[in-house]
Each structure stands twice: as structure tokens, then as C-alpha cells.
Structure 1
Amino acid sequence: MKTAIKLILVMILIVCMSSFTYNVVNEGYKIGDVVDDFSLKNINGEKVSLADYKDAKGYIVIFTCNTCPYAVAYEDRINQLNEIYVGKGYPVIAIMPNNPQIKPGDSFKAMQERAKKKGFTFPYLMDEGQTVYPKFGATKTPHVFVLQKEKNVPVVKYIGAIDDNYKDANAVKTRYVEDAVNALLKGAKITNTETKAIGCTIR
């Protein structure tokens, strides 16, 4: 009897572990997935959604924040991405995914102050209730998702890092996001569709 109970417990444990592994592996959007629209509050108090950009060819969605050293190191480069690509139909949309109760430096007021200080040229949205970043499967700040409109719906084309050197913008060898968007603009195949996002864990 005891042996039978042990076997049952082992089988339950295996099933639970298998389910956990499945969820982790398949969490969030993958390349080729259609992205659900969202409506999040911008630093000016107005709601912003992907649908607001009717003339956009796609989007550069970046999960970032005020408090992560990696995210701070990329602020100027994120600004540059928007300056380069907003006119080409790929605007940057930044989303702050952290819980401000855990990270007070990422409060809405702090976001407003940071955007003003750095002269952000893109919307900086708060993921209130933390409902959007899990859908994307974002885990770090920064974490980038390049989307392209296909039949008027946004489809994921690139996921990962902005480039290959967060420490020094002048030492970057491969600009993953720029390469991805440039390929999409040319109708070419993206060389690196996924890279590892380097940054702070979303909290």
C-alpha cells in the first residue's frame, strides 16, 4: 500500500514539474505571434495604444524603467532609435513594467521627471497593474519587441536586446534593433530574430 502511495506521489510530482516547465518555456509572445493591443497611461496623463498609430508600419516596444542601471545606460540610445525610425513608420513605445510600490523610483511622478530631464521624444507608459508585460513575456529592463503590421495587425519580428554592448555605445558592434527594423523596411530577412535581453529583472 505504501509503495502504491509513493508511486502516485511521484507521478503527481512529475506531472506538476512538467506543467511548470511547459509554462515557463511558452510564456509570452514568440516570433510570428500577433500582439494584443493595450491602452496604457502616458506621462502626460493620456492613454496610448498601438491603434493610435494608424500610419505606423510597425513599432519598437521597449520595456524600460528609471531605476535599472542597464535601462539608464540605454536612455540616449532609445531616444536615438525613435529619432531615426519614427519618421520611417516605426515609433518607439516605452513601457515601465515595475511595481512602484516595490520600486518607488519608478513611480508615475518619477517617470514624468525622468522623461523631462532626458528629453524623451517617445511615449513613456506605465503598466499599471502589471498586465501587459507578462503577455509579451518581458523579463528584463530593457527588453525589446519589434513589431510589424501585417494585414493591419502587429506581429512580433524581433525579441531581445537593443545592441551588444550596454556599457559603451561607442563600442557597439551589432545593433540588433536597428538591423531588424532596417531589414523590415527593405523587405529582407532579419538575421537575428532573438537575442538575450540584458538588464534588471522586472519587479
Structure 2
Amino acid sequence: MKSLKVLIVLTLVLVVSALGIAGFNQFKSGYDIGDRASDFRLKDVSGELVSLSDFGEAKGFIVVFTCNTCPFAIANQERIQALDAAFKPKGYPVIAINPNNPEVKSGESYAEMQKVAKDLGVTYPYLYDANHEVYATYGATKTPHVYVLQKEEDALIVRYIGAIDDSVRDAASVTHAFVADAVEALLNDTSVTPETTKAIGCAIKA
């Protein structure tokens, strides 16, 4: 009986280890504060392919993983637009990315992205993560989920990760504008505080 218990325990350990190697670990990490972020090349709703390297004059980026249908994402659409209006002229444009799989979540197709962008009159690139790889590289889990990147020579350094602000849905009740504060801190060469917050929204459907 003791030998059987040992065998069962060893089997469980092997199974868990295999799952970690084959599945969990590849999506486990993502970026941390201070990491170098990699560039990407994704299709915009305009039909053009867009990379961060296209923005030669940018000082950094506000990368927002968002979507068409999540109530939290919808509630933040005007705030995302406002961030772009405030910080694009200062060198920190918004880059929005939809990581959702339309086969998993209806309303998230490329054509529907185009309609949403047109209806909203978006002023920033709205990109389709068609292979659902960029969100995993970054470690995004929610919509919306924000990464503020700062250019340092030839690198893009992660300086903030988390929520847009401290109000889940109502812009009128915002008391801490996390992303805006982070970008202002970078522009003023001061410390970003807080560097991370909890992103609250719908789970990415990929």
C-alpha cells in the first residue's frame, strides 16, 4: 500500500510538471517593470500594418489591450481617447490592441473593430492581434490592460502596468489617474508611483 501511495504521488508530480512545461509557463510570465518590451507588427483598422518602430519621434507609448464588447472596455473608450489627445502631442501616443478571438467571443471580428473605430472616431491605431501572441508576450489578462513604455536609446522599457485609473466604469468618480500620472512622471523625469495596479476588466478571450 505504501508503494502504491508513493507511485501515485510521483505520477501527480510528473503530470503537474508536464502541464507546466507544455502549457502554463508559456503564458505565466509576461513583462515586469523595467523589462525591455519587444516590438510587434499588427494590422490597423485602416488596413495598414503598424509597428512601434514606425513612431520615430515618440518618447514612449501607452499600449492598451482592449476590445469591442467588454463593458469595462466600453466604459473606458472615452478615457483612452482622452489619453491619446493629452499625451500624443507630448510624445506618448496610445496604441490599442484587440487580443480577443472572434471565434471565442462574438463581436470581436476585424470588421467589427473597424466599425467601432469609425463610430468612435478613434485618433489612435486600433490593432488586431490576429495570432493572439502579443497579449501573451506582454502578459495582459484583461480588457482593458495598460502598459506604459518609455524609449531609452534603442530599447522600450516597461514603466507602468495595470489599470487606466481607479474607477472601474464611471469616469466622473476617478480619484487617481494611474496612466496619466505615470506618463507625466516620465515626462518630468520623476519616479512612477504606483508602478503597477490591478487591471480590472473582462478576461481576454483567445
Q: TM-score range by the shorter chain?
A: over 0.9
Contact kept in structure 1, 2:27 and 2:139, CA below 8 Å: no
C-alpha distance in 1 between matches for 2:55 and 2:11: 48
Q: Distance in 2 between matches of 1:143 and 1:72?
A: 13
Supply the distance in 1 between the matched residues of 2:195 and 2:180 (Cα, whole angstroms).
12
Match of 2:198 in 1: 196
Query: Equivalent residue for 1:113?
Result: 115
Aligned partner of 2:12 in structure 1 is: 13
Extract unaligned runs of 5+ from structure 1.
none
Query: Contact (CA 8 Å) 2:39, 2:53: kept in 1 or not?
Result: yes
Aligned AA (2:3): A
Partner of residue 56, structure 2: 54
Aligned to 2:138: 136
AA of the residue aligned to 1:55: E
1:159 & 1:41 partners in 2: Cα distance?
24
Q: CA offsets per residue over residues 126-183 of structure 1, 9 Å max, x none?
A: 0001011000010000000000011221111100000000221111000000011010
Partner of 1:4: 3
Give, in angstroms, the shift of residue 87 of structure 1. 0.7
Name the structure 2 match of 1:163.
165
Q: Count how many residue pairs are aligned between Structure 1 and Structure 2.
A: 202
Aligned-pair RMSD on alpha carbons? 1.9
| Selected match of 2:95 from 83, 93, 96 | 93
The CA deviation at 1:16 is: 5.1
What secondary structure does 2:107 align onto?
A: helix
| Amino acid paired to 1:143 | H
The CA deviation string for residues 13-53 of structure 1, in whole angstroms up to 9 with x for no partner, is 34654774983895211111111110000001100011111
**Any conservation in 1 of the 2:27–2:137 contact (CA below 8 Å)?**
no
Letter matched to residue 173 of structure 1: T
In structure 1, the residue corresponding to 2:89 is in which secondary structure? helix
How many angstroms apart in 1 are the aligned matches of 2:32 and 2:2?
Answer: 43
Q: Secondary structure at the match of 2:63?
A: strand
Whole-Å separation in 1 of the counterparts to 2:56 and 2:34: 21
Paired residue type of 1:29: Y
Q: How far apart, CA to CA, are the structure 1 residues paired with 2:28 and 2:189?
A: 28
State the partner residue of 1:175: 177
* Alignment-derived partner of residue 75 in structure 2: 73
Residue 126 of structure 2: aligned partner: 124
Q: Distance in 1 between matches of 2:11 and 2:156?
A: 40
Q: Matches of 1:191 and 1:25 in 2, distance apart?
A: 26
The aligned counterpart of 1:64 is 66
Per-residue deviation, residues 67-120 of structure 1 (Å, max 9, x unmatched)? 000000000000000000001110000000000112231111111110111111
Q: TM-score, normalised by structure 2?
A: 0.92
Q: Could you tell me how far apart the structure 2 residues matched to 1:128 and 1:35 are? A: 19
Structure 1 20/54 Cα, relative in aligned 2: closer, same or farther at 3 Å?
Answer: same
